[in-house]
Amino acid sequence: MIKTLMSARAPVLAEKYSKEIENARRDLRALIVIKKCAPIMFSLALHDAWTYDANTKKGGPNGSIRNYIHGENTGLKTAIDLCEEVKDKHPRVTYADLYQLAGVVAIELIGGPTIDYAAGRKDSKESHNEGLLPDAKEGPSHLRDEFYGKGLSDKDIVALSAIHKLVNAHPERSGFGEKPLKFDNSYFVELLKGDSDSDGSLQHATGKALLMTQTFVPMLSFMQRKVRLFNLWAYVQDEDVFLKDYAESHKKVSELGVTLPLSQDASFEARGAVNLASSATLVFLNFSSMLLVYIQQINRKCKE
């Protein structure tokens, strides 16, 4: 009830802005198909979100990554320049929303799940860090600390590791091989079979870390290791399970440290729920009052 009341009072996304977002979505879809740039669009979204620092509550998907293009992030400049073409057409859309929308559209266009996208992020020119992703070569402990420190779970670590199939489509950025682009559960199939390094997925330190159970022994509890391995097997057995979990994990990353306004529909539903709850409360109070009067009448008759 309290959560519903808070939702009803939350800021509401302007209808004009929502329409602008949908127009930008269409332009991004066309751009990504024509330029065949899905991998770097997703990378841009992920790097921008990864600037979030859970300790200071700063950073997150705020568009600031565009000001930190050097070193490991150099390859993102192409994605930023391409997004600028869409930004020019839709100047009201924030960079923060645009980059995350580009990531969502990119995943969907290469066969990934439909991700629940919500707009309303604010831009910032400053960030706590440069959005560098965790380096699994530094060990499982570093990988775990990076994810846990952002409020993410073991399931998120496993589900999001599939991005290496996506990043590998651009070897000039990833340093690994190349294979036809398709977002599915084949990363986990090959990982557990361990019989193919043709696209470089198994060469990636994150993939190795997921399978090196003994390496995780000092850092993870028995149940944590079981959960991680269970997710790996579940994704191999049922691609739909993987796609569902991935969509949830992707959404979590795209909203790190962000409080988003409600859409018009969500606001309407929240207000409707509050009105329904208020009506139910009134009915209950009226019934209680009538019941109390009835009991008082019976008591008086008994005394007579």
Contacts (Cβ under 8 Å, ≥6 apart) of 43: 75, 76, 79, 166, 167, 173
**Catalytic-residue membership of 47:** yes
Ordered DSSP codes for the chain:
-HHHHHHHHS-B--HHHHHHHHHHHHHHHHHHHHHT-HHHHHHHHHHHHTT-BTTTTB-SSSSGGGG--SGGGGGGHHHHHHHHHHHHH-TTS-HHHHHHHHHHHHHHHTT-PPP-----PPP-S--SS--PPP-GGG-HHHHHHHHHTTT--HHHHHHHTTHHHHHTT-HHHHSS-------SSHHHHHHHH----TTSGGGSHHHHHHH-HHHHTTTS-HHHHHHHHHHHHHHHH-HHHHHHHHHHHHHHHHTTT--PPBPHHHHHHHHHHHHHHHHHHHHHHHHHHHHHHHHHHHHHHHH-
Catalytic residue among 47, 90, 204, 250: 47
What are the residue numbers of the active site? Answer: 47
